[in-house]
């Protein structure tokens, strides 16, 4: 599959949050302001790219010993270790970046979107470059979904509607409507 097709597929047709429903927790938690959305998106793209780069050789190792059924456990172990390592190094070497993005890193560690990308690479049978493109596309999809939803949320904040719907119910309903709107992209690829 060409790389552009992979990117378009990731971002619009199979948006990780709005079509595949992975990574919903930070999606609802961080999307209150546009600035934190951009920060979270950047951190997710970085983690996804690096996680793919690391889990690809790990999977090759598992294949060699024919224990591919253990890929979920192995990936979780590797991703968690990697994110923790990045946080330690970032805190020491790049304090301003740590201040901006550091809060999000633990949130991303257990985010199923990252695991979803790494397992998706295997299920789709991508080679290394295609896996990286898939990871980049998924990160961009996540950022796009966050940015769109933070705009929607700021519009909801100022609106007037029944007391029973204020807060979480309104947010969830809005999220489902945004997800519905992305259904329009199905079948493009």
Partner 1 sequence: MEYIIPIAIFAALGILAGVLLTVASSVFAVKTDERVELISDALPQANCGACGFSGCADYADAIVNKGAECNLCRPGGKASAEKIAVIMGVQVTAAEPQVAFVRCSGDCKITPHKYEFDGIQSCAACNRFYNGSKLCTSGCLGYGDCVAVCPENAVSIVDGIAKIDNSKCMGCGLCAKACPNGLIAVRNISQKVDIFCSSNDIGRITRSVCSNGCIGCKMCERNCEKGAIKVIDNHAVIDYDKCTNCGKCAEVCKIHSVRLVERLAERA
Question: Can you give the binding site for partner 1, defined by CB under 8 A?
Answer: 61-62, 65, 67, 70, 73-74, 77-78, 81, 84-85, 88-89, 91-93, 95, 158
Integer angstrom CA distances of residue 96 from 40, 82, 87, 90, 131: 15, 20, 13, 9, 30
Residue with Cβ nearer partner 1 (99 or 183) = 99
Q: In whole angstroms, how close is the CB of 62 to partner 1 at the nearest point?
A: 8
Alpha-helix runs per DSSP H in 19-111 = 24-30, 34-64, 71-93, 95-101, 104-109
Q: In whole angstroms, how close is the CB of 18 to partner 1 at the nearest point?
A: 28
- Secondary structure letter of residue 163 according to DSSP: G
Determine contact, residues 101/42, Cβ cutoff 8 Å.
yes
CA–CA separation, 22 vs 111, rounded Å?
8
CA–CA separation, 100 vs 92, rounded Å?
14
Residue with Cβ nearer partner 1 (61 or 180) = 61
Q: In whole angstroms, how close is the CB of 65 to partner 1 at the nearest point?
A: 6
Q: In whole angstroms, how close is the CB of 71 to partner 1 at the nearest point?
A: 11
Residue with Cβ nearer partner 1 (77 or 172) = 77
Residue with Cβ nearer partner 1 (42 or 78) = 78
Which helix (H) or strand (E) segment is 67 a member of?
A: none
Residue with Cβ nearer partner 1 (3 or 102) = 102
Q: In whole angstroms, how close is the CB of 109 to partner 1 at the nearest point?
A: 13
């Amino acid at each position: 599959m060409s790389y552009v097709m992979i990117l378009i597929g990731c971002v619009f047709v199979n948006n990780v949050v709005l079509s595949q429903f992975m990574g919903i927790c930070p999606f609802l938690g961080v999307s209150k302001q546009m600035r934190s959305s951009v920060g979270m998106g950047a951190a997710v793209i970085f983690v996804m790219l690096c996680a793919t780069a690391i889990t690809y050789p790990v999977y090759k190792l598992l294949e060699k010993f024919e224990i591919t059924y253990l890929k979920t456990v192995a990936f979780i172990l590797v991703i968690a270790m990697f994110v923790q390592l990045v946080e330690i190094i970032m805190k020491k070497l790049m304090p301003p970046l740590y201040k901006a993005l550091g809060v999000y890193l633990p949130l991303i560690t257990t985010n199923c979107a990252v695991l979803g990308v790494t397992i998706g690479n295997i299920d789709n049978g991508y080679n290394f470059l295609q896996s990286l493109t898939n990871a980049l596309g998924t990160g961009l999809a996540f950022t796009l979904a966050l940015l769109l939803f933070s705009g929607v949320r700021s519009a909801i904040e100022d609106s007037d509607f029944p007391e029973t719907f204020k807060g979480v119910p309104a947010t969830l309903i809005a999220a489902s409507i945004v997800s519905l709107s992305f259904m329009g992209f199905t079948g493009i690829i």
